[in-house]
Chain A
Amino acid sequence: EDQVTQSPEALRLQEGESSSLNCSYTVSGLRGLFWYRQDPGKGPEFLFTLYSAGEEKEKERLKATLTKKESFLHITAPKPEDSATYLCAVQAGSSSNTGKLIFGQGTTLQVKP
């Protein structure tokens, strides 16, 4: 069964304290791994897509990396405005025609000033 597990469930950081969020996946033939940010009361906001092991993408203070079993979202020198829930989702090869995404439970990040 295709599965996505994110850790930790919650993370509290001081402003400027760098850290990483983990997304482990078990999927039959990964077609793509997606990172989203979700603020309270809003829909998920697309951040990154990763397609193959070794791929990396960056956006401001965020950097996403991918291996054959997991992905990391590295947050460098976070600011309070980075506080949100970060969601990881995968698309399996069997879903390449349907577009189905399987989401993890998310990591809720709080950055204190």
Chain B
Amino acid sequence: SAVISQKPSRDICQRGTSLTIQCQVDSQVTMMFWYRQQPGQSLTLIATANQGSEATYESGFVIDKFPISRPNLTFSTLTVSNMSPEDSSIYLCSVAQGASYEQYFGPGTRLTVT
């Protein structure tokens, strides 16, 4: 399976600021995803990062709040914009070789907004 890294691993940010999270894979992958895991909750898909085109967002998530980039087949970024304490979560990227294939997850980024 692919080796996935995320930066930063954790951060504490002030309300109203933005944070960009990076996801790097050691091999080319077809699909990349971004999930949110709120405290004590399970994982919720934010969006699918599409190479060379706009990300596909799930209901309840919008591009202005969570802009995503995917410049190539091994890298993606998620920005959490204009943060509020409700954005405090673990943000995880995952990768797959196809839509119906198993997804492999990165270690996550733990974000605390004060």
Taking Cβ atoms with an 8 Å cutoff, the residues of A that contact B are 31-32, 34, 36, 41-46, 49, 87, 89, 91, 95-101, 103-106
Q: Which of chain B's residues have a CB closer than 8 A to the CB of A43?
A: 4, 92, 94, 105-108
When distances are taken between beta carbons in the complex, the residues of chain B under 8 Å from A41 are: 108, 110
Number of A-B contacts (CB under 8 A): 59
B41 cross-chain contacts in A, Cβ below 8 A: 105
Nearest B residue (CB) for A88 = B42
Apart from A34-B103, A43-B105, A44-B105, list 11 A-B contacts with CB within 8 A: A42-B107, A91-B100, A95-B99, A98-B48, A99-B98, A99-B100, A100-B45, A100-B58, A101-B45, A101-B103, A105-B41
Name B104's closest neighbour in chain A (CB-CB): A46
B73 within 8 Å of A (CB atoms): no
Partner of B99, one of A46, A49, A98, A103: A98
Min distance, Cβ B89 to any Cβ of chain A, angstroms? 13
Chain B residues engaging chain A, CB cutoff 8 angstroms: 1, 4, 31, 33, 41-45, 48, 56, 58, 92, 94, 96, 98-108, 110
Q: Which residues of A lie under 8 Å from residue B96 when comparing CB positions?
A: 99
Q: Smallest Cβ distance from B23 to chain A, in angstroms?
A: 11
A104 and B100 form a contact (CB under 8 A): no
Residue of A nearest to B103 (CB): A101
Q: Which of the residues A46, A105, A106 comes within 8 Å of B103, measured between beta carbons?
A: A46
Contact status A87-B58, CB under 8 Å: no
Inter-chain contacts of A103 with B (CB < 8 A): 42-44
